Amino acid sequence: MRTSLALATLVATLGSWTSSATAQQPLAAIDWLNTPLTTSVLPETILLEPPVAGSALRPEITVTPLRTLPAPTGLVSAASTGLPTDLWRGSDPAELKRLIASVRVKDTPAMQALLFTLLLSETRAPEDDKDALLLARLDRLMALGATDPAQALAQQTDPTKTTARFKRWFDASLLTGDEDRACAVLRTAAHLAPSYAERIFCDARQGDWSTAALLLETAHTLEILPEQDLALLDRFLNPDVFEFAPPPKSPDVITPLTFRLFESIGEPLPTSNLPRAYAAADLRDLSGWKAQLEAAERLAHIGALPPNRLLGLFSERKPAASGGIWDRVSALQRFETAIKTGSDDAVAKTLLRAWEAVQASGIETGFAELFAEELARFDLTDAAAELAWRVRLLAPEYELAAMLPPSETPENLLLAAIAMGKARDDSGLSARDAAISRAFAETAKQAQVPAHLRGKIENGRLGEAILNAMVLFAQGSDGNWAALTGALSTFRLVGLEETARRSALQLLILER
């Protein structure tokens, strides 16, 4: 009975399915199979095999040897500078060497900062470089007076690899007073010595006086050193013999070794008329305070000395006299004292004298970096307020200062616009000011960039393009207004917006 009932139920169910199937369309496993074929719903055709060859000839095959890329060299990581490691890719090393050696940055701190960034950033040399770029970087660092970075960069790149690298490392070490390490290397690798003079000096420094004397006697016999060098080395090795002799004459050509030998025999040479790298030697405690101050001013003017260190030297003690550098020290000390008192009147009275002092030294931006934040807290009026505002525009926080100009004169409005990266109406502006303003127009990044620089950028020769833009900026500072617009526009195009703004502000504010 139960079996018959189940069979009846099954037959009824099958019957309902059959009737339902005849009433509905067939079900599809994929919904879109029921959709009419239209071109609007078909996906794009994807070829999974290479296209058919146009002929039966064997295609051309290009063979490129695999090369190991050289390691980037530099003291500052690419992540910190924002510059790519292949900054110099595709450029001619000889052209890079010429640009690095000749680009003028003396009068614009923003250009100085950019050049130091290019020289110290971790970058790879272009192919077939053969050390030209590295040596050019080291030579320019020394020319700028940055002996410590030059020594560190040379040491990072294995100075024992070539005699040219070792010479730069040795020279920088002599001027920083850290020659013992270089001398230790030279004693085990004598072939790296530029001449017998370095070997004699290092043997004596290492305490091997007999070897130094033997080498000096050999140099005398073979006449392989200039007469002046031989006489100086004689005094260095035998001070007792020349105790009552008159001081030696200063040679026509001063080298770092010559400079150190004169210092070693108790006859230090003044550095004021020597290349800037020698000024770094006066920063040591061996020199008097006046010599340290003058050396610090000279190095800070080119951006080779941090402002904090300069201020530390200026604040070290009371001026010993009046006139010249002593007046500058006095003016800065009075201003620093006024800042500490918190008095608006005291700051207003001392600010102008302090500004005149830093103008005479050419260290305006260093002064701004040190005191801009403090100046913002004082309620100054009239000329003091105008000057304090310009000082703040020279500091890294220039955008904050631009929001509140002390007055809406045409000059102030232009400065505020440039600080915010905006252009002003050309009408009423001088030729120089109009050239600067045009570089900050909306279309300037493309329209105002010179064609030859745009081509270098498009070809990946970024470092070379930046150096050429720096050359254009120097020409623009001298009165070539089209070059000035092109340089600033190029900086903005490659992402150096802060360099463009700060260099323009410095050109407008600093009276150089």
Task: Summarize pLDDT for 323-369 with one digit per residue, the tens.
Answer: 889 999 999 999 999 999 999 999 999 999 999 999 999 999 999 99
pLDDT at 59 over 90: no
| Lookup: tokens for 395 | 């500091």
Contact 138, 150 (CB under 8 A): yes
Query: Residue 109 — very low, low, confident or very high, per pLDDT cuts 50/70/90?
Result: very high
pLDDT at 306 over 60: yes
3-state class of 240 per DSSP?
coil
Helix-then-strand count for the chain, H and E: 26, 0
How far apart (Å, rounded) are the C-alpha atoms in residues 315 and 305? 16
Q: What is the dihedral of CA 296, 297, 303, 309, to 10 degrees?
A: 40
Q: What local confidence, expressed as pLDDT, does residue 252 receive?
A: 83
Task: Summarize pLDDT for 245-265 with one digit per residue, the tens.
Answer: 888 888 888 999 999 999 999
What's the predicted TM-score (pTM) here? 0.84
Give the residue-averaged pLDDT of 210-226: 94
pLDDT at 495 over 90: yes
What are the percentages of helix, strand and coil residues in the chain, rounded to 5? 60, 0, 40
| Lookup: tokens for 266 | 């108790």
Q: What local confidence, expressed as pLDDT, does residue 29 receive?
A: 41
Q: What local confidence, expressed as pLDDT, does residue 22 receive?
A: 44
Residue 251, classified by CB atoms within 10 Å of its CB into exposed (0-12), middle (13-18) or buried (19+), is middle
